Amino acid sequence: MGGKLFLVPTPIGNLEDMTFRAVRILKEADIILAEDTRTSAPLLKHFGIDKKAYSHHQHNEHKATSEIIRFLNEGKNVALISDAGTPAISDPGFFLVREVLKNDLPVECLPGATAFVPALVNSGLPTDAFVFEGFLPVKKGRQTRLKKLADEERTIVLYESPHRLLKTLEEFAQFFGEERQASVSRELTKMYEETVRGTLTEIKSHFENNILKGEFVICVAGKEETKKEKRSYEKD
């Protein structure tokens, strides 16, 4: 019988968000794969997991996957962790999961930390239907994507880096309208966690006057929600 690939979420900031099950799986796994072993080493040490982690990131995952499948076929259990959050969500892991499934081997993803869920719930925007975009293209295809998202009726959730945040908010205001409601969360679960809500223009103004640090999650109201708010305002 072959082994199993476990996708193990790790805290996005607060170490108390690590689950008991995640710790057990990592302790029991024959092999631990990590996006960056320098980041994972302190985490493993903190939870008493005395095992070496092997690098598995976007630059080597195609080459390493065949060897991982060999380990699984030999009956070894493999656990994959990313630097923070759930593997394969804007992190390495999708390719490995797909190839493992192609080889009729089992994959199990544990529930756990991921940044966009608390950011969405905190935003105050509709959560019954939403679209997760991850990171927008940096250059090629960016404007095409923005034009398409401008007509999206569901809440839009994206990740963004500090050095591109202001540019992205400016583009959103240009394509979606300056009065579109949005929310930006940063440093989720950490000491300086912050969520800023308002129009795209208001949020951009806030971050123009504050230090840009940490990882950012942007939530933007869908086009239909904006229409509802406008109708409600006109009715009042």
Whole-model pTM: value is 0.90
143-160 pLDDT, tens digit each: 999 999 999 999 999 999
What 3-state class would DSSP assign to 13?
Answer: coil
- At residue 233 the predicted structure's pLDDT band, cuts being 50, 70 and 90, is very low
Three-state secondary structure along 161-216?
CHHHHHHHHHHHHHHHCCCCEEEEEECCCCCCCEEEEEEHHHHHHHHHCCCCCCCE
Residues 150, 32: Cα–Cα separation, whole Å? 41
**62, containing H or E segment:** helix 61-73
130 and 103, same structural domain? no
- Residue 235 in any domain: the answer is no
- Residue 225 in any domain: the answer is no
119 and 76, same structural domain? no
Q: What CATH number has the domain bearing residue 209?
A: 3.30.950.10
- State the residue range of the domain holding 65: 5-109
61-105 pLDDT, tens digit each: 888 899 999 999 999 999 999 999 999 998 889 999 999 999 999
As for how many domains the chain has, the answer is 2
**Alpha-carbon distances, residue 60 vs 33, 102, 140, 153, 172 (angstroms):** 12, 19, 24, 38, 34
Q: One-letter amino acid identity for 91?
A: D
Nearest residue to 6 (alpha-carbon basis) of 80, 113, 103: 80
End of a domain among 55, 85, 109? 109
- Residue 77 in any domain: the answer is yes
